[in-house]
Structure 1
Amino acid sequence: MANLSLSHSPDVNITEKQKSVMSGSLQIRVFPSTSELALSLAQVLVHESQGSNGFKLGLSGGSLVQLLSRELPKTPGLCTQDWKVALCDERLLPFTDPESTYGEYQRHLIQHGVLSESQFVKIDPSLSVEEAAADYTRKLRELFPGSDVPSFDLLILGLGPDGHTASLFPGHPLLEEKDQIVAPIKDSPKPPPERVTLTLPVINAAKTVVFVATGESKAGVLKRILQDAESDPLPAARVAPTHGKLLWLLDEPAARELTCPVEKHSVL
């Protein structure tokens, strides 16, 4: 991977977040194109999973499904046999529904043979949302025996234009959840309203968290998250792994309003 430059403006006030960037505890990588970002994400998966014994991965939905299904089948050095994959959040829908995140992975990733259905930890969409959250909690407890708070090897998160991530939305009471590792949500402002989501304690317990954000529609909210100090930070701004790494992968349109230090990469 070629690191083309490290750029920042010396004229802006340095915030704590910018200090984190410069100290290396937070990395922001910017790519000329979505295809280069996708290739870099695949390389991150290879790197983070090498040498692991039972690699535990958490995935989000949306455009991430297409990025992974396009790159992973042709990624050299990728060995997924011992992986276990959970979803960072899921809509309470049948897997045959086009809005089901697991259904999307079935259709676009599993069919390529990169992963098998048995490697996924799934919700039970036949249950009520409260029962589905409790059932998913039990499955994660089995995946992480002896851990009060599961610690994934890698979580890959997306970002909504409103700053939400997983199914954690601005101003929602679930942002303050401290006890549950999985929570039901009945009133999602983004349809469908009923969902199951990992909570912030689990997200922040991960060894590595990667955010993927593309497109001009994310530029304004990324500036708020990565540069602006807010008394009531957006959900994605609350993601700060306690003992892990935080990496943002952005394309140039998404990063266009940032003035903090970023690494400009090209992988082609």
Structure 2
Amino acid sequence: MGRDSSEKRVVVVSDPAALAQRVADRFLVRVRARTADGRLAHIALTGGSMGAAVLRAVAQHPDAAGIDWSLVHFWWGDERFVPAADAERNALQARTALLDHIDIPAGNIHEVAASDSGLSLDAAAEAYAADLARFGTPEQAWPSFAVCFLGVGPDAHIASLFPDRDEILVTDVAAVPVRNSPKPPPERVTLTRPVINASKRVWLVLTGAEKASALGLALAGANYTSVPVAGAKGRKRTVFFVDEAAASKVEPDLIDAAY
């Protein structure tokens, strides 16, 4: 199926396990292409069960050994402001699934400060923004991610940008603190929408029938202030990787079987 590169694509895979493998395959192809000539690849990770499943599939993939991981920098779209050893930390989940199993310099892993780091929530957000700015340009104070992974909540939130909250409207800084999150834990740090949308590719990974409504609203072009996922858009590609349950409300002509 021929498609304009700016369109939102939907890739449907039978079940979560097969979906994780498909995304891992595509990810390694993309990282290899990006780093083949020595360029850096900045990657934004997501948390949750599918985020971890994709990273485990990457770690177990035979092609992972062929990647020069010294050229890859890992970031997170959001982080829970909890102690560093808390199992709810997205960074801890990513380390367990992938990062502890590859040969990557410690300085290439850019975690948000934990709640037991000595920094306040606001200072953690400011420090994360400052770290992003080290890889920015005069035009934007953050890197353009080669791939930005996003999970999607049943309420259509992405990262820690929740519906009808002030964080989704912020455009002048790269990262902001989140308090009284509608989903626990209550304190978080999140990238803002301009950082997400500066990514070359935004890959949204979602499974389950409870995500079908959010996916339908995103594809229908809903207002992003109330449906944050509708506002996520990569500069080159925006791809929804979904299982059959999440795709139950997707029109067949929106599914890209060739990607």
Q: Which residue of 1 aligns with 2:43?
A: 57
Q: Report if aligned partners of 2:222, 2:230 keep a CA contact under 8 Å in 1.
A: no
Matched, 1:136 2:122: no
Report the AA paired with residue 54 of structure 1.
L
Q: Report if aligned partners of 1:149, 1:201 keep a CA contact under 8 Å in 2.
A: no
Matched, 1:249 2:249: no
**CA 100–30 in structure 1, closer or farther in 2 if over 3 Å, else same:** same
Report the AA paired with residue 215 of structure 2.
L
Give the superposed CA RMSD: 2.2
Report the AA paired with residue 153 of structure 1.
A
Give, in whole Å, the separation in 2 of the partners of 1:213 and 1:76: 25
Match of 2:57 among 71, 76, 79: 71
Q: Higher Cα Rg: structure 1 or 2?
A: 1
Report the AA paired with residue 56 of structure 2.
R
- Quick one: percent identity of the two aligned structures? 30
Q: Which residue of 2 aligns with 1:3?
A: none
User: Superposition pairs for residues 159-174 of structure 1, below 5 Å?
Assistant: 159-174=152-167
Q: Report if aligned partners of 1:205, 1:244 keep a CA contact under 8 Å in 2.
A: no
Shift of 1:112: 2.5
Q: Report if aligned partners of 1:31, 1:265 keep a CA contact under 8 Å in 2.
A: no
Q: Report if aligned partners of 2:59, 2:97 keep a CA contact under 8 Å in 1.
A: no
- Deviations 1:155-174 (CA, angstroms, capped at 9, x unpaired): 00000000000000000011
TM-score normalized with structure 2 length = 0.87
Give, in whole Å, the separation in 2 of the partners of 1:138 and 1:23: 35
**SS in structure 2 at match of 1:84:** strand
Shift of 1:229: 4.1
Give, in whole Å, the separation in 1 of the partners of 2:15 and 2:224: 33
Q: Report if aligned partners of 2:151, 2:205 keep a CA contact under 8 Å in 1.
A: yes
Match of 2:30 among 48, 68, 74: 48
**CA 265–63 in structure 1, closer or farther in 2 if over 3 Å, else same:** farther
Report the AA paired with residue 250 of structure 1.
V
Match of 1:123 among 98, 101, 112: 112
Shift of 1:204: 0.5
Q: Which residue of 2 aligns with 1:222?
A: 215
Report the AA paired with residue 48 of structure 2.
G
Q: Report if aligned partners of 1:141, 1:147 keep a CA contact under 8 Å in 2.
A: no
Match of 1:184 among 177, 199, 202: 177
**CA 84–232 in structure 1, closer or farther in 2 if over 3 Å, else same:** closer
- Deviations 1:114-136 (CA, angstroms, capped at 9, x unpaired): 65644210122221111000111
The 10-residue stretch of structure 1 (62-71 or 89-98) with the greater mean CA deviation from structure 2: 62-71
User: Superposition pairs for residues 63-102 of structure 1, below 5 Å?
Assistant: 63-78=49-64, 79=67, 80-102=69-91
List runs of 5+ in structure 2 lacking aligned partners. Answer: none
Shift of 1:41: 0.9
**CA 187–46 in structure 1, closer or farther in 2 if over 3 Å, else same:** same
Q: Which residue of 1 aligns with 2:228?
A: 235
Shift of 1:145: 5.1
TM-score normalized with structure 1 length = 0.84
Report the AA paired with residue 73 of structure 2.
K
**CA 149–142 in structure 1, closer or farther in 2 if over 3 Å, else same:** closer
Structure with the greater relative contact order (CA < 8 A, sep ≥ 6): 1 or 2?
1
Q: Report if aligned partners of 1:211, 1:247 keep a CA contact under 8 Å in 2.
A: yes
Q: Which residue of 1 aligns with 2:101?
A: 112
The 10-residue stretch of structure 1 (62-71 or 162-171) with the greater mean CA deviation from structure 2: 62-71
Give, in whole Å, the separation in 1 of the partners of 2:49 and 2:246: 14
Q: Report if aligned partners of 2:224, 2:231 keep a CA contact under 8 Å in 1.
A: no
Give, in whole Å, the separation in 1 of the partners of 2:82 and 2:199: 27
- Deviations 1:210-245 (CA, angstroms, capped at 9, x unpaired): 00000111112211221264585400101123x321
Shift of 1:250: 0.4
Shift of 1:143: 2.8
